[in-house]
Structure 1
Amino acid sequence: MMVIHCEHLVKIYQTAQSFRALDDVSLDIEKGDFISIMGPSGCGKSTLLNILGLLDEPTSGEYLLNGVKTARMPDRTRSHFRCTNIGFIFQSFNLMPRLSVLQNIALPMRYNSLIPRKEILPRARELLRRVGLEQKAGNTPLQLSGGQCQRVACARALANRPEIILADEPTGNLDSKSGAEILNLLQELNQNGLTIIMVTHDEKIAAGARRIIRMKDGKIV
């Protein structure tokens, strides 16, 4: 089953001079795939990931997510579609420093009308147990190691039961041991049926995916 279908995506940023960040990118991703996207800085990796995550729109081309055309989708619809289909993991974790670990994981569910209020905290605790940090529920991110913070970020990405996880350099701020642990967690999630698309500069981390896509100058090469 195809979850992502892209045809001839172009993204042009208009600054002092126009910059073509994506140049005729076509891509199909099937349900349950695990893909690494690699390439030098500025090659279009993060731009592509932002478009796939409905955080940005292409200048031209077509993007279908679960068979639904995303072009000109109203903001409210786009936000709901993103919330219910996609989980995000970032290099810098993007956790709320004043909230507890449990509250950080619960936060996306509080914006999802499809999850009953009474189920939010029990589900957050279950996700924390799933990433092996149930004993850290009351801690804040500032009291955790980098690897632990990224595990919390993985749990938060799963909060709304997404079909797709987009991970932008998820091991970039971690030591090699913690990076390997995060890769193992992503592989486990993939084996349980999640589709994972990961941007990384690390060849060893990329090799843990099922498929590697390499980009250069806005193109898939």
Structure 2
Amino acid sequence: MKTIWIDALTPKQALLSIKIMEAAWKIGYKSIITTREYDYTTKIYKLYDLNPIIVGRHGGEKLEGKLMASLDRSIKLAETIIGLEHKPSYHISLTSPEAVRVAFGLSIPIILLSDTPHSKYVNKLTIPLADILITPKAIPKEEYRNLIDEERIIQYDGVDELAWIKDFKLDERVLNEIGLNTNDKIIIAREAEYKASYYGQNG
């Protein structure tokens, strides 16, 4: 059976990686998932009884920490992928700098997903090395034209989150635990990604 290697860096990416894994299985591919210690990313896999390969950690808010953590993770990822019995047929990620560098170095075809054209630093490190870039139609191809030929961009009509939300089943016990019920009007506010490379910076 052919293998795809998925690298997930954040909780959102973890959720999406699970859906990619399920879709890949249906067309005859098994998946290897790598991730890092960050936030509650690894806990999401536990909810699905999955055991990804945990490699490295998040580098924190400072540039020096990000750089050192990224370099360390790149080496460990390379060792992990080289150590596999069979080289993956494809690499898939939402622009993981470490995984893309390793995949490129090992001549593994790279498929990237992106809905963050504003993530300029990470995009510069990853998208030029991609064989295929997949983005929502809501984002004009022109946003990426300095990084990849438009012919290599595939667009879909939707957003990433639909991949797991469409199968979501509400557990009313969770609402009860926090004093809510299904008749309540609920507003969910999300904090800014203050540890992201693009947050609060220009360029």
- Higher RCO structure (Cα 8 Å, ≥6 apart): 1
Greater strand share, 1 or 2?
1
TM-score, length basis structure 1: 0.31
TM-score, length basis structure 2: 0.33
